[in-house]
Structure 1
Amino acid sequence: MSASKRDELVQKALASFYKGGFHAIGMDRLAKETGVSKTAIYKHFRTKEELILATLRLRDEQFRNWLRRRIEALAAEPEGQLLAIFDALEEWFEEAGFRSCMFIKASSEYQDSSHPIHATAAEHKRLLSIYFAEIAQKTNAQDPEGLARQLLIVKEGAIVLAHLHEHKQVAADARTVAKNIVDTALADI
């Protein structure tokens, strides 16, 4: 299997795992949904978990790049960018295929914090927090890391609730909470 075929497999596997979950999608079903034989899958990935890790790395790259682009397109100033996080989330929630966060799912299905899949999910969230802190530093907030953590908490809660309930109200409510947090953090300046 060529590198491009491998990349195509990872992309198709990502879609299958995102839609159906990690434990629920067995190798037979994965082969059927991706159109790649189990033999071909195992030529590049010794285990299903190795393939899951590859899909998580791809999703991390895709999601963080998308989020950064959307935030920067939605707001020019750092304070506005902190709120644009939630405008971007609303766009994501409105996508027809929205099924919550792949990393929340991964950490739920692989609950041992020392497991590589759980650790990869945690790393994704850590990298988002760093990005939010970078934006917060540009606002001159006294505690940009604390502000970033608070916004990440609101973001993660919004994702879960958008999956469970009416996403439009969740996104609007999350943005309101985020605005209160940002206003409070910047009032101390």
Structure 2
Amino acid sequence: MDLIDANQRLLAAAERLYYPRGIHAVGMDEVRAEAGVSLKRLYQLYPSKEHLVAAYLDARDERWRARLRTHVERHAVDPGERLLAVFDWLGLWFAEPGFRGCAFVNAFGEIGGDAPLVLAVVQRHKVLFREYLLDLARAYPTPDPEALADELLLLAEGAMSAAAVLPEPRPDVAARARRAASALLAAASVG
């Protein structure tokens, strides 16, 4: 097995194990066994659990943002509808089997303050999500796209947390967040 294949197997195994169960609950040997990779190869690629967790989150970030971007591009043309499509996508994500909230917030809650590599990936994910919202907000007729992006980011992040912990149906959380986003757009519009 070459390094590329071993790396893909390890990242897939980390995703299958860390997201549903948590980082502390899963040891490196369990990830290695799930991936079918030797211990030597695991530590050749990832010298510590922190390195593996950061890589797993980095890969998840790329997939998560790509899925969001694809949904928005396929389902909306109008700048306002593109911003609201973010919340539609969140509703689809919240309804997926095995949804456990934001993997980045979960990781930070478990180990972020004690793991600088993980903290850097978590912060980068949130910055890139905000930048995506800002790109969408710049196409919307508002005098302050920065403020609009910040407000929508807070609304989306709150919806992710609420969907993870509240007992009510998760798509309802996204629908309410979408209504709040629509009100923000109306208040921010100059046209």
> Following TM superposition, by how much is the alpha carbon of 1:132 offset from its aligned partner in structure 2, in angstroms?
0.6
Shift of 1:56: 1.0
Deviation per residue, 1:123-142 (Å, 9 max, x gap): 10111111111111111311
- Distance in 1 between the 2:171 and 2:80 partners? 22
- Other-structure match for 1:61: 62
Aligned to 1:140, the other structure's residue is in SS state coil
CA–CA distance in 2 between the matches of 1:75 and 1:157? 23
The secondary structure found in structure 1 opposite 2:113 is coil
Matches of 1:126 and 1:114 in 2, distance apart?
Answer: 18
One-letter amino acid of the structure 2 residue matched with residue 49 of structure 1: E
In structure 2, distance between residues paired with 1:47 and 1:111: 15
Would you say the 8 A contact 1:10–1:55 is kept in 2?
yes
Unaligned runs of 5+ in 2: none
SS in 1 for 2:23: coil
Deviates more, 1:75-84 or 1:34-43: 34-43
Q: Larger deviation: 83-92 or 161-170?
A: 161-170
Does residue 1:43 correspond to 2:44, yes or no? yes
Spell out, residue by residue over 1:109-148, the C-alpha distance to the aligned partner (whole angstroms, 9 max, x if none). 2342882211210110111111111111111311111111
Is 2:93 the partner of 1:118?
no
TM-score by length of 2: 0.92
Given that 2:148 and 2:184 are in contact with CA atoms closer than 8 Å, whether structure 1 keeps it comes out as yes
- Alignment RMSD (CA, Å): 1.6
Question: Judging changes above 3 Å, is the alpha-carbon distance between structure 1 residues 64 and 36 closer, same or farther for their aligned structure 2 residues?
Answer: same
How far apart are residue 9 of structure 1 and its match?
Answer: 1.5
Cα distance between partner residues in 2 of 1:121 and 1:147: 22
Q: In structure 1, what is the equivalent of residue 187 of structure 2?
A: 184
Partner residue of 1:103? 104
Q: For 1:182 and 1:35, locate their aligned partners in 2 and report how far apart those are by CA, in whole Å.
A: 49
Unaligned runs of 5+ in 1: none
Q: Do the aligned residues in 2 keep the contact of 1:113 with 1:119 (CA within 8 Å)?
A: no
- Decide whether aligned partners of structure 1 residues 113 and 50 sit closer, same or farther in structure 2, where only a CA change above 3 A counts: closer
- C-alpha displacement of 1:23: 1.6
8 Å CA contact 1:83–1:178 kept in 2: the answer is yes
